[in-house]
Structure 1
């Protein structure tokens, strides 16, 4: 399979910044995504001069990004895309069996697959990130979900900081949310924040006796849900962001909630940043776009007990990072330094550990090998990388199933705890991971249930420097299923078997028979011999699972844990004036989708930082 390489056009650099330029702020925040964008806005609204630095540009008025329905185009768009080519294991031959390996053919195209042409250069498994104001909230599918209470309480158990208790974390959602799908007054939600939330149309579920409704009925029964109403849309009435008792143990159907308004326009951290900049109150926020942070600066003082971060060094210009498909080899930009009382890194699970390591904070041996002066030997930087496992069951029906999405969070019978462990959404789409030009469109008869595994047990991945050049990308290895992999694979198989059985409810309709493409190829219920045992499906998922929710590479941890990078207030251990506030801070992967949990994390960091500075939490004004 071939795909055109995105053209490397000459890019006009951002306005040159003089190497002599310097400025001092109260705070510098690096990265404008779900962690950094809201935090920088909040700090400025509290009256602190804040510099927000973003490597990408602003695409908030571009419909490819502003309209949530265009998320597939957004994730493929070279205007913002950073391509990380990752590994799933230490076994190179195993990784080569991933069906969507990407190769550079050398003739202006990509080859996608397992039988590349002679001379093609292996790139790896694509993991796209978004370099743009608003970060990856600008190219994702906009799905809103929350972590289990246990995952918030884990921080309490690790650090003793009771401010992380789940009921206390709930308030941050109500502070940031502007709910558009429930009547005002619901105590579990907010209505005056910057993050708009809405739900989709369930009209398709009102039609009686369609194939899709038959499948829906069977699915509901399979997870213990029933409805006395002939209007099956009532099955979706539970609130996926609700705060009901035993919510984490209750399997249910839901109407998917998106961080978008009711008309389908994305609601993102970039919107909050821009509204802060435009506010008549003239909050002291400065935004620098197309600016690549190359390292953190530290004081040379010999009177302080530990190194203190005092600013950052940057390189100005567009497409300077080599993950950018528009990067022109050899391109550099003018260098500047900016200073602050405190530096906050919010570059995400790949770039935050990279920036720390480039600045001398990380495992001593790794840094010394590359000639980087060690500021603080911190072995956990870049370790503990985790992600949700994602997989799917995909089939082609005889006729189209005219339906929307069936969304559910449920527990498989073999889950490790009493909590739900699978987030799934089913409908007439295909999604099989990431590669240039994804996804494959199998036509109007395609039908898929995509799954996100909640609570993956491995978290054995790493982000390691390849060179000391800040324009180079790091080596990223997730080491899928390395720890307790058999248990995680068994949970994915159990979920797939349940979902497959629900499709058989349409056996007597004109949409049947279904031809399953994977993981059990053949007619649904009559698979190719040997392809559909639990062991065969587990092997399929071991090779073909993918991911897009990287977290935990600068994780919060216990004082006695040598791999803990942050304390419970997001402070980098062993240095002063430096924090990390993004998804890399989570000790474990937070639920099924980390985008809203990271926004909640950002709001908590706001409160912690302002409390330390002696100010009350800022009231949001949007």
Structure 2
């Protein structure tokens, strides 16, 4: 173990760059190579490097997380759609959105999306994980087992004093782990009254969204520490970088995965003449041996003795697989990529939460629109954060949450609200000049499915992202019904004193057809892409990984990020992604000592 001061190969921020080779020290070979230093990758690097006998390399295309707006909670406004911290993806024009294309933020910095997201700590519903267990055939994915993985890295503020007024807190939350969870540091009277209105509309109060059923209304808990964003680079990576066996290469583009065995190196005539038994054996011998990167303008091949672990996310991981020759054969051949493994599910099954923003103009209410409308107001906001680490600059993008049903057709909450004491036309635009709130609602379990597909053999060209929002009758019906639920809440007595006036979408729209069309006009992503490398049983032709997240038919290669979700969780996706990485790291370490 060594600290930054005594290690000449570390930067002042504690990140390890390329170091000069020493006798017997082959820098091109590691035990484990992790691709992507985002939410999953930072945790994975921490866990795999805990054994000093493991040489671990973590590779990240983005730069250091030393941009000050990453760490100030409201700084997401300056990190999203900023090429310094965001990949700047856009979706393809979407029929369900009436031909619109959306920005599609993905973190391009240490900490990945945890450095630019909404900081909301949310696990989803127990039924999500029980369903994963059923479709994967592995009970390790059931809620009870996943709960243990959530708690393993959790550091919940309510347990700071060693006790809690709620004895059930210890059954559902952990303390002393790396992932800090705190209550928000401000509240708003207008949101308090919206919560009471939600109760009057039939949505119960809840003390905790994270005990398996998130039904109810409450302020969200957030991943912050004392008013600062708590990203995974701070939580998991920085402590691990004190270990001499962990190497971090940031600002390093991964070109492709490297393979050996199987049909690699065989000519077409040889493959054609191979018998069925030999062909099966060769296919089973296919192994991922490492990665090719571009670092400081040089192309470098790196080998992994044990495993390569993809943690590049639901966009990055399938794209890297595809440009490396792993994916649907027809798609790869179309773009001139040699097929290493025909896996038709790579890049399919994309799911996301589409939020539909209802804006209500209010009177007699304190909202951020008014507070931030003057220079004096902005100065007050800045001083409040400077001296107290509270106020609007400590805000998550959404403060109040609610989970309920769009109609009686559902036995479980199927829609989620993110409620904000502000309003604007679209992300990045100025706040409205009048006091207002925004109540965004999303379908938690969309049936629409999209794709992520390479557009070129060049790994530097962004893939085509086509979410196919609102492409099913069920999703369009949920969209229409969810807008009606929003109207029902806003019409309750507790909210009447604000004289709410619906600015978006507008009360003139009433029918299912009108509301579904309006949802397409005003809906936008809530930044939760998952499912593009989904896990499943051996007889599932579209499954990319097995229940232990090993890529089908390729030894030494796993995916451990949100892409493996067979179906999207019923809530925000960042903390479930950490749970996935926690579970995968445990299996990798078991395998290293001879386990399954």
Normalising by the smaller structure, the TM-score range is 0.7 to 0.9
Shift of the 457–343 alpha-carbon distance from structure 1 to 2, 3 Å rule, reads same
> Structure 1 residue 597 and structure 2 residue 576: aligned?
yes
Q: What displacement does 1:492 show?
A: 2.7
Alpha-carbon distance, 1:96 to partner: 5.8
1:352 aligns with one of 304, 317, 324: 317
**Aligned residue for 1:419?**
412
CA contact (8 A) 2:136 2:536 kept: yes
User: Matches of 1:255 and 1:85 in 2, distance apart?
Assistant: 31
Find out whether 1:50 has 2:56 as its counterpart.
yes
Counterpart selection for 2:121 from 144, 148, 165: 144
Q: Does 1:289 align with 2:250?
A: yes
**2:421 is aligned with 1:443:** no
Deviations 1:48-105 (A, max 9, x none): 211000001112x43301122322222143321211121253x4xx65653xxxxxxx
CA distance in 2, matches of 1:386, 1:432: 25
- Asked whether the 8 Å contact 2:194–2:495 carries over to 1, the reply is no
1:260 aligns with 224
> Residue deviations 1:166-201, cap 9 Å, x none?
101100111111111345451211111110001114
What are the Cα deviations for residues 108-133 of structure 1, in whole angstroms up to 9, with x where unaligned?
Answer: xxxxxxxxxxxxxxxx4211211100
Aligned to 1:518: 504
Change (3 A) 1:195 1:443: farther
Q: What does residue 277 of structure 1 align with?
A: 241
Superposed displacement of residue 154, structure 1: 2.0
| Superposition map of 1:99-110 within 5 A | none
Alignment of 1:300-379 (within 5 A): 300=261, 305-317=284-296, 333-340=297-304, 341-379=306-344
Aligned match of 2:200: 221
Which residue does 2:467 correspond to in 1? 478
**1:545 corresponds to:** 523
The Cα offsets for residues 183-220 of structure 1, whole Å up to 9 and x where unpaired, read as 54512111111100011146545xxxxx6554432211
How does the TM-score come out when normalised to structure 2?
0.81
**Contact kept? 1:570, 1:585, Cα under 8 Å:** yes
Q: Is the 8 A contact 1:37 1:270 kept in 2?
A: no
Asked whether 1:499 is paired with 2:483, we answer: no
1:197 to 173, 181, 188: 181
Task: Note the C-alpha offset of 1:36.
Answer: 1.4
Counterpart Cα distance in 2 of 1:83 and 1:197: 28
Q: 2:357 — aligned with what?
A: 392
Decide whether aligned partners of structure 1 residues 146 and 312 sit closer, same or farther in structure 2, where only a CA change above 3 A counts.
same
CA contact (8 A) 1:388 1:453 kept: yes
d(CA) in 2 for partners of 1:96, 1:264: 39
SS of structure 1 residue aligned to 2:127: helix
Give the match's secondary structure for 2:230.
Answer: coil
Gaps of 5+ in 2: 1-15, 21-25, 164-169, 264-280, 369-394
Distance 1:177 1:203, change over 3 A: same
Question: How many angstroms apart in 1 are the aligned matches of 2:488 and 2:367?
Answer: 19
Shift of 1:343: 0.6
1:592 deviates by 1.7
Match of 2:277 in 1: none
State the Cα distance separating 1:259 from its structure 2 match.
1.1
Check conservation: 2:97, 2:520, Cα contact below 8 A.
no
- Residues 83-162 of structure 1 mapped to structure 2, 5 A cutoff: 83-87=88-92, 89=94, 91=95, 97-98=99-100, 124-162=101-139
Question: Aligned pair 1:467/2:491, yes or no?
Answer: no
Distance, in Å, in 1 between the alignment partners of 2:457 and 2:595 is 40
Partner of 2:569, secondary structure, is coil
Aligned counterpart, 1:408: 402
Q: Secondary structure at the match of 2:294?
A: strand
Match of 2:423 in 1: 430
Q: Deviations over 1:219-257 (max 9, x none)?
A: 1121243xxxxxxxxx5x5112235xxx25xx3112201
Q: CA deviation at 1:554?
A: 0.6
User: Contact conserved, 2:361 with 2:435, CA < 8 A, in 1?
Assistant: yes
CA 409–399 in structure 1, closer or farther in 2 if over 3 Å, else same = same
2-structure distance, mates of 1:368, 1:128: 29
Q: Which residue of 1 aligns with 2:87?
A: 82
- Aligned twin of 2:36: 31
CA distance in 2, matches of 1:201, 1:16: 41
For residue 597 of structure 1, give the secondary structure of its aligned residue in structure 2. Answer: helix
Distance 1:335 1:431, change over 3 A: farther
Residue 102 (structure 1) aligns with: none
Give the CA deviation at 1:273. Answer: 0.6
Change (3 A) 1:615 1:241: farther
- Mark the CA change 1:422 to 1:358 in structure 2 (over 3 Å): closer, same or farther: same
Equivalent of residue 455 in structure 1, options 432, 440, 445: 445
